Chains A and B, each alone.
Chain A
Amino acid sequence: MSRRLVLGCVAAGLAMLPVLAGSRPVVEWSFLVLLYAALAQSWNLLGGFGGQVNLGHAAFFGLGALVTRRLWLGGLPLGEALLAGTAAATAMGAVVGAPSLRLRGPYFAIGTLAVAEILRITVGNILPEVSALPATTLAAYALAPRYYLALVLAGAVTAAAWWLTRSRFGCGLVAAREDEAVAESIGVSVFRHRLVAFVLGSGFAGIAGGIFAYYHPSFYPSFAFNPLWTFDPLVIAYLGGAGTVEGPWVGAVVYLALREALALRLGELHLLIFGACFIAVVVALPGGVVQALRGLGGRAARPRRAAGSQATPV
């Protein structure tokens, strides 16, 4: 009940933010939080719930960005351009996922990383020119539509993650993460579950790329394929708590706040600190911030929950 209330307040606050926030940097920062939360959540579907570390997420973000940008600048309405970008990323997800998910553990990670790098280099060679908005388009720039697109996407991916926590498919995916042989022995097709999660995550990453490309003033097409679009969401998911619904949101806020604070003072040096933070989280808090908070709250909340469960059959 109270959880629903908190959720409602957060959603309402996020919806009102562009109207209420006086300063543009606040909205800009919030847009980034939403975009990164969405991207991290899309990585989390397979990486967190499925336990397969995909190091090629940038490929799908980049493909979504590339296709959406070109079609949109070519004159197509944004909706159709986004749809095409999403379709391209989803199809690519199926093409990459089907062979690479037959690989196990580190081989899957290396395989996906290789695919993303090949795409990045190829795109960089074919499209070496920077993609800049024409002056007339730039004049019509407004942040609010991008903000709301990112909000809807982050909400949709989070709904997908939430569905994983309470559906048959999600149970199967988590079982495959815990023990492949046990999952197979009770009828869970490990490969099929991972492929669905991978394709779903790729599609969502493609939409995130499309939203990034929409009205982004200028970027090299290959920039959207940069491995940072893999490693930022990965770090965010682990920071917040991989395999949890809230993790990517918590991680995105913490990560972007830290980046803002550190990058301003330390410049490139902040990457070193991020590396250290990431190692510290993986070693000391394997469940991320969310797990750590749950551990703290769990001790106080457990007796209450037990009492509540006895009361429910009324």
Chain B
Amino acid sequence: MTPGASPQALLDVRALSKAFGGLRAVDAVSLAVHEGEILGLLGPNGSGKTTLFNLIAGDLAPDAGEIYFAGRPITRYAPSRRAALGIVRTFQLVRALLNLTVLDNVLVARLYGREPAPSVSRARAEARRCLEIAGLDDRAGRPAARLPLADRKKLEIARALAARPRLLLLDEPAAGLDQREVDALLSLVRGARAEGITLMIVEHNMRVVHALCDRVVVLSAGRAIAEGTPARVLEHAAVVEVYLGRGDPPVRPLTGPR
């Protein structure tokens, strides 16, 4: 159970790099995700979190470095092949199969992904079950294009869960949600973990990070600069600096101290 002690990580990222022109979006990042844990990925905007997700999910090819999943090198696998092995992601800017119904969006995931359903009718029944869990069962027949944002975020997760992931990558799942919707999200993610799914989450909402993550890794300018439990890492001076700037303000305030 102690993170870092297990001999083989579920996901093992070794010295992964990706540059866009002169910008090193991900710069020699190494990290491991262990079976059953929830790993948070923190860092300011532009620090490379989503690029790292894209590299792990296979939407981008790295310039250097290797990715191992359950001991298997997958660095050059297409996203669909990684999904079949159990790496499934959600998108920061929610995406859906817009002209299909909510049910069909989840149905496709149940027909593909890891452990696909043996028949379309079985898949449809199981997809309905996924919608119930996500609280979308009353909207099953609606086109996905007509869902409000909060429901589309639920659909995003329901679709990912229907693909039966071993490792689920959630990219800012709480962004744009209100308190109540965040609570629903938290229970959805906890439910997923209870079923044995390992998670990696990019999130700015510190309440969500504290509530969910066992461990966090902080990225800054494409590099991993800190790692540990959320409470410990957020005390870390370098992290505070990345998020809030240096202790000494470079410009004196206009009004004197009160």
Contact = CB atoms under 8 A, between A and B. Distances in A.
A221 to B, nearest CB: 40
A166 B111 CA distance: 12
Interface string A175-187: 1001101111111
B100 A174 contact: yes
A190 interface: yes
Interface-central residue, A166, A182, A189, by most chain B CB under 10 Å: A182
Contact of A187 (B80, B96, B99): B80
A292 to B, nearest CB: 16
Do most interface residues of chain A lie in helix, strand or loop, or is the interface mixed? Answer: helix
Interface string B151-169: 0000000011011000000
A179 B163 contact: no
B89 interface: yes
Contact of B112 (A167, A174, A178, A187): A187
Contacts, number: 84
Contacts of B57: 185
A184 B159 CA distance: 12
Interface residues of B, number: 33
B94 to A, nearest CB: 10
B95 interface: yes
A287 to B, nearest CB: 10
A186 B108 contact: yes
Contacts of B108: 171-172, 174-175, 183, 186, 188
Contacts of B123: 168
Contacts of A172: 108, 111-112
B11 interface: no
Given A175-B108, A181-B95, A189 B78 contact: yes
Given A172-B111, A186-B113, A188-B108, 15 more contacts: A167-B120, A168-B116, A178-B98, A178-B100, A181-B95, A184-B58, A184-B78, A185-B79, A185-B83, A185-B89, A185-B160, A187-B80, A187-B109, A187-B163, A189-B81
Interface of B: 57-59, 78-81, 83-84, 88-89, 91, 95-100, 104, 107-109, 111-114, 116, 120, 123, 159-160, 162-163
7 contacts: A178-B99, A179-B96, A183-B97, A185-B88, A187-B113, A187-B114, A188-B80
